[in-house]
Structure 1
């Protein structure tokens, strides 16, 4: 038997997924890592803990399933995107914690570069924002002490893991991750020297950009494997989900429900640029050919429910949220705008503050939970409607993935707000599946017939247009009340 191992390194933890030669997911193993959150809302991760957990979950999944580790023929990686770190190439140690995608500590750096905003968008497809990696790397270079004379690597989590897995022999990232750094020119498909210069980042410190299904080097996983295994597929997590969902043609769209969310539409081999709050990125490069996407990113979706559990203590566990929401008064007018660290696409207001608006005397626990659930779907709706408008492509279905897709209330409400079917696959680990497929395709183990095996549950809209419009208009008004620009 032959196996593909996928590492899915996400915001909240690291998981390993194991697939057999029939592309069946046979098991997973997970380890969490700490969210380092400062008093001013800055978010960081310990890169060494992420590396230790990567090794830990890989070993655990193989041993838990009792397979011969010599039968693992390839490894794929999907990773949290935009999260950035700087490390010493000679010692292999980070010079500072990884700055997480949610973290807006680079806001002042971006404000100081406002005159370059249009150039940044034209070259990278991205709005100038601390959300992306460039300002995070620049912040580390400015605040991590004296780094002069050190041989630095500035990268994203994929390049960090590739570096560590290959004992420092390879420093590579894929096109999807590169396109989310705000340092990569998506027209010339190369690191942009002008953009690097304004952020104070030496292009020589950035990784070699490699096809998403390319060879990233070989690993024995720090001595665990008796022979080195090829790393043959790397994708940012949302791109991995798009690939895993089989959204391979223009107009196909998916939404990943995680800590935050990414809504992504495949737009084909030519970019479409928008001025309306969504960005253009690379979907991937496979076999030397790139595909582009329109994308919008949301800072807080699943993490809103986690906030209700961990901080507000309204729920004992995240899985309870749908049940509470279903019991709430359906006519309650409460909206929760989750701008805990500003608002992402399509608003891009890093100064906006979270708010609960529209409460009445009869608003209670269930109604607040309902508002938290529904704000996730409203944010997704903002982006899907905008993408349809900007691309001119019809959207007949949205494919979704991530833990919150188990929530029947949320999935039904999402369909109600979009007035199109919401398709939930049986396997929820689409980011890791996409990375595994990229590796398996590159190694000749599978072909695209694997997509035909996927089972999906479809939610169909149950509300009329007037009811949908009333609810959505209320959401837009709630958002408007917190915007600062």
Structure 2
């Protein structure tokens, strides 16, 4: 190990998302030295199909890292560790020898395998899948996407069975590229999103592999979320020898980045959609209210599980207000518009623009605006839209409380829409618990950095990280119980009609 490597003290987090890649560089005191985002193109071959060119993805990673190093004024040799967090269920398939993708990645949003999922449900397979994986049978997850690639790319299945192809979620592909092909791995949090891993044993399951026609030879090795998987080799923008040592799916990384280390701790990420996760501890909790059970992380030999609920539309509803209705010029204008009225009156907005996720799971539901009168203004509509986002999260929290048997003492938030004070205050009001927004709301990348830094010794323990966690603003609930019940009754009536 060189002297420069021993003196390295910065952590690089690569947050590979659906529309772009963010590179974040942190120092030991959790100071952000640089944060750079590079977008890449989205590919829509057919209605309901969504793909990414893996060369575009890798190019965005290289560009983001190079720009972040320049912004921080650092040399690559000063990076002590690299952590990766990623869009989770997206499927990559590439040639082990050449490294070339055999097809575009199929993105988590893609719905091309809907018919296969319907067929498997008709065969009575969903109960077994749910019991083994904690997930529902849906095109959202990776297994049917991989089966589609093996079946539809010429020669892919035979090559996969011969061990010539490698499958992975995006974390696997990036680790493979960063280590020059030396490490074909994934972590437990990403593996738990594939429909191929048995939840309690955290191992690939033979029955599930047979069901989805996936040869074992194509699979990555399942590892913990914080350990050395390999070192950089042959990466144009980084020197050889930097340990790649932290991996977690984006929502699990945000949970870790929010320091939600104790059972009962919960966070919600408000992005295009909204994702709520609650740490339930070392034993998985099976949901009876439409939530998913997933692995949160494995660190130091201990696995933590989480309950997860997702609202498909959150920030995307604001984009709809901007792009389709042209009521606002930019997304950040929605709060000022909503503040032009004192309340939403009787207007209720159900943001089921692409169906409803947990806990309702109604794919046929459609968006609904009710309670409109001649006095309804754009401000009422904007305020009702923000309230509709918060109502969805209330339903998820209510389901989690019933499943986990414990209340949420406080509610941590992150993601772009969490910067909206009006939304966060209404969220606290309708939940009846405080909402805490950290100083840094990009906690997905922060979680990846923490996991890598723990493995590399930059931070000694989760307790050290927790002590450094800073709440930026705390929203205390102000709404009276009878008013809360009145709002919820309006919401429930509207949901039934959506």
Please classify the TM superposition score into its range, dividing by the shorter chain length: over 0.9
Comparing 276-285 and 472-481, the one that deviates more: 472-481
Q: Quote the Cα distance in structure 2 between the aligned partners of 1:93 and 1:288.
A: 34
1:118 to 122, 127, 130: 127
Matched, 1:78 2:91: no
2:14 to 7, 31, 49: 7
The answer to whether the 8 A contact 2:180-2:233 is kept is: no
| Equivalent position of 1:357 in the other structure | 370
Q: Quote the Cα distance in structure 2 between the aligned partners of 1:206 and 1:30.
A: 30
Q: State the 1:436 CA deviation.
A: 0.7
The answer to whether the 8 A contact 1:325-1:366 is kept is: yes
Q: Quote the Cα distance in structure 2 between the aligned partners of 1:343 and 1:140.
A: 28
Q: Quote the Cα distance in structure 2 between the aligned partners of 1:293 and 1:154.
A: 25
Q: Which aligned pairs between 1:21-420 and structure 2 lie closer than 5 A? A: 21-37=28-44, 40-114=47-121, 115-150=124-159, 151-220=164-233, 222-328=235-341, 330-420=343-433
The answer to whether the 8 A contact 2:188-2:298 is kept is: yes
Q: State the 1:382 CA deviation.
A: 0.9
Q: State the 1:430 CA deviation.
A: 0.7
Q: State the 1:322 CA deviation.
A: 1.2
The answer to whether the 8 A contact 2:231-2:240 is kept is: no
Q: Quote the Cα distance in structure 2 between the aligned partners of 1:217 and 1:352.
A: 46
Provide Cα deviations, 1:48-70, integer angstroms capped at 9, x if missing partner: 21111011111101112211221
Pair 154,61 (structure 1): closer, same or farther in 2 beyond 3 Å: same
Q: Quote the Cα distance in structure 1 between the aligned partners of 2:329 and 2:181.
A: 43
Pair 38,57 (structure 1): closer, same or farther in 2 beyond 3 Å: same
Give me the CA root mean square deviation. Answer: 1.8
Listed as ranges, the gaps of 5+ residues in structure 2 are: 1-7
Matched, 1:477 2:482: no
Q: State the 1:212 CA deviation.
A: 0.2
Q: Quote the Cα distance in structure 2 between the aligned partners of 1:395 and 1:113.
A: 36
The answer to whether the 8 A contact 1:22-1:446 is kept is: no
The alignment's TM-score, normalised by the length of structure 2, stands at 0.92
Provide Cα deviations, 1:55-96, integer angstroms capped at 9, x if missing partner: 111110111221122111110011111122322333322233
**Secondary structure of the residue that 1:215 maps to in structure 2?**
strand
**Secondary structure of the residue that 1:216 maps to in structure 2?**
strand
Q: Quote the Cα distance in structure 1 between the aligned partners of 2:236 and 2:191.
A: 29
Comparing 67-76 and 130-139, the one that deviates more: 130-139
Q: Quote the Cα distance in structure 2 between the aligned partners of 1:211 and 1:55.
A: 25
**Secondary structure of the residue that 2:158 maps to in structure 1?**
coil
Q: Quote the Cα distance in structure 1 between the aligned partners of 2:218 and 2:384.
A: 45
Q: State the 1:42 CA deviation.
A: 3.2
The answer to whether the 8 A contact 1:104-1:350 is kept is: no
Q: Quote the Cα distance in structure 1 between the aligned partners of 2:44 and 2:341.
A: 32
Runs of 4+ displaced beyond 6 Å: none
Q: State the 1:220 CA deviation.
A: 4.0
**Secondary structure of the residue that 1:283 maps to in structure 2?**
strand
Provide Cα deviations, 1:325-359, integer angstroms capped at 9, x if missing partner: 22235143333333333322112233333333333
The alignment's TM-score, normalised by the length of structure 1, stands at 0.95
